[in-house]
Amino acid sequence: MTAASAAHTVPATPRKYGSMSRDRRWALCLSYFFLVVFAIFFLTPPVYMFITSIKTSQEISAAVNPWWVYNPSLANYVELLSSPVFLTFFRNSAIVSVSVVVITMLISVPAAFALSRMKFWGSATLATGVFLTYLIPETLLFIPLFKMFATFRDWTGIELINRWWALLLLYPTLTVPFCTWIMIGYFASIPKELDEAALMDGANYRQILTRIFIPVALPGLIAATIFAFTVSWAQFLYPLAFTTSADQLVLPVGIVTTLIKGDVFNWGQIMTGALLGAAPPLIIYAFLMDYYIAGLTAGATKG
Amino acid sequence: MVDAALERPAAAGAVRKPSALRRRLQRKSTIAFLMTLPLILLIAALVIYPALYSLHLATLNKSMERFVGLSNFAFLFKRQTFWMVVKQSCIFAITAVIFKALIGFVVAHFVHNIPTKGQRKWRGMLLVPWVIPPAMSTLAWLWLFDPSYSAFNWLLAKFGVEAIPWTAEAGWARFSVILVNVWIGSPFFMIMYLAALKSVPEQLYEAAAIDGANWWQRIWYVTLPMMRNIIAITALFSLIVTFANFDIVRILTAGGPIDQTHVFATWAFWIGIQGGDIPLGAAVSLFMVPILSIAAIFILRDINRRGNEA
């Protein structure tokens, strides 16, 4: 960092290179030291989740070192994975998340294509509007939506509250604006010559979209898919407000509301459930990290 | 021109006498409009309409039968809890965003400093808090903060420090919710800043080094000006998300002790869904709008400006 000043004080000696590299090495060591500190800070909760999940209840309530496992056991995992209630949560979460991904893609990919390539009246305003929608948090909308669903039941007799499939209506409001937005960015970066060439060859818009845009913008599509999946999987407020009975709950809410029974906290099981709930996003992240990060940074930098 | 080339074969292949409707349906702008129609419907029905509807809801009485004007708001203004929530929401959001930005900036620098080979691994590891669903990781924190089995307090006891009432005492509870929020959010800042750092041309640093700038001057005169845009937009994004945060406060303290850690979202949930007073809950959540729209205006301005430059 003080290469220049080092050169100044000890001019024109071989020593200079030595001190520079020593400086560099020192800076590097410092960087690694702080990275280790921050990594400990960032990884402590998940690691502690894992530690607790392989403990027995006796060990959890014993007055021993909580950071160490003396008698590791998989009892918590066995118990949760064979509990029909927990498997229902898992199934609900999986169905909801996968369906939301499909719905999101069906809505946002054609819309992004139209907004990025086929200029029509109000298309620029609509693109900005989509982005604005992304900025409206769900915490602002859940109360009116709750009332709307209740009114809808009174009018049509179709019950939407306390039905897991009603979440399929709610989650797209969180995923579609962002996915449309980043797909607009990806589509806009495709050279115009490509679709003009296809038009010359007599391709129609559907063919341009499916044969050219989707394959070329596949990385963006994967990033958007990952985003939609992780957002739906992690969503907590909507299911907490809209679903109540145990067979309708999704995983995050199910763990929070059913595993905590009154004042009895079965921490071994809660941590196991939390870890299993965190597993799908973590696995996706582990395998598709670059797409995940691309989607993350695209939101703010593509615009 | 290109459109004409497209439509000719299509029209020739189609029915002999193309009806007006069919011709209209084949027009580019109509196709485009139909493609965006699901998006428009979704946004109109499930975002715009509820947003406006909550304005209407907030003016009704508890049983939602009678129009009461602004008396819900007047009622809120008279309640001490409301002002506490306002204060806590602002403290929570502003402190958390500042610390997220600082930690993100510092960590991004350290990751940027080490050899490129190892950066991927570190980046991957440091982003884990962002990947875990917040509800799940907050449960882990809740367990780490447990009044009788807190693993942190066990460590502190080893150093002779008294047990800390992480979620039981107002001051510490406020600290805890901010800590968890910072833990979840700073990796996002780290990723954004790292991407921005990579885009600063190396020549600028070389030029600064030749001019004798020390590391602090290089950050202040080169890095920060080059990253100003991304710093601002990330902070504004995060301000919106943090201000509207629900999961962390709800799971960690549920607003307690005695409503001291409630933010707008959790208090609105408490009143509107759990307390059954939907209009009052809607009124509470509407108070998020001013600060959110200010942040949104700044973000939009930035995006439009960059759009014009491109």
pLDDT tens per residue across span B155-169: 788 887 777 788 778
- Cβ atoms of B172 and A296 within 8 Å: the answer is no
Residue of B3, B33, B132 for testing the chain A interface, max A β-carbons within 10 Å: B132
Residue A263 has a pLDDT of: 62
Minimal Cα–Cα distance from B303 to chain A, Å? 6
What letter does residue B15 receive in the DSSP assignment?
-
Residue B1 has a pLDDT of: 40
- Cβ atoms of A266 and A259 within 8 Å: the answer is yes
Lowest mean pLDDT, pick from A44-58, B170-184, B218-232, B235-249: B218-232
Residue of A47, A64, A139 for testing the chain B interface, max B β-carbons within 10 Å: A139
Q: Considering chain B, what is the average pLDDT of its residues?
A: 80
CA distances from A196 to A205, A215, B2, B6, B270 (A): 11, 16, 7, 10, 55
Query: What domains can be seen in chain B, in order of their start residue?
Result: 2-57 (no CATH), 76-309 (1.10.3720.10)
- Cβ atoms of A113 and A209 within 8 Å: the answer is yes
Percent of chain B with pLDDT over 90: 5
Record the tokens describing residue A53, joined without a space.
């999940």
pLDDT tens per residue across span B87-96: 888 888 889 9
Chain B residues close to A106, C-beta within 8 Å: 38
Q: How confident is residue B308, by pLDDT bands cut at 50, 70 and 90?
A: low
Residue A103 has a pLDDT of: 93
A21 touches chain B (CB under 8 A): no
User: Is the predicted pLDDT of residue B26 greater than 80, yes or no?
Assistant: no
Residue B34 has a pLDDT of: 81
The one-letter amino acid code at A42 reads: F
B144–A44 C-beta distance less than 8 A: yes
More confident residue, B232 or A47: A47
Residue A13 has a pLDDT of: 45
pLDDT tens per residue across span B246-296: 888 888 888 778 877 888 888 888 888 888 788 888 888 888 888 888 878
A48–B292 C-beta distance less than 8 A: no
- Cβ atoms of A49 and A271 within 8 Å: the answer is yes
Residue A258 has a pLDDT of: 78
Consecutive 10-residue averages of pLDDT for chain A (303 residues): 44 48 77 87 90 81 77 82 86 92 91 83 80 83 86 82 86 89 84 84 82 85 88 90 84 82 73 89 87 73 42
The one-letter amino acid code at A105 reads: M
User: Is the predicted pLDDT of residue B9 greater than 60, yes or no?
Assistant: no
Q: How confident is residue B14, by pLDDT bands cut at 50, 70 and 90?
A: very low
- Cβ atoms of A106 and A221 within 8 Å: the answer is no
B54–A48 C-beta distance less than 8 A: no
Q: Which of A8, A140, A180 is opposite residue B285, by nearest beta carbon?
A: A140
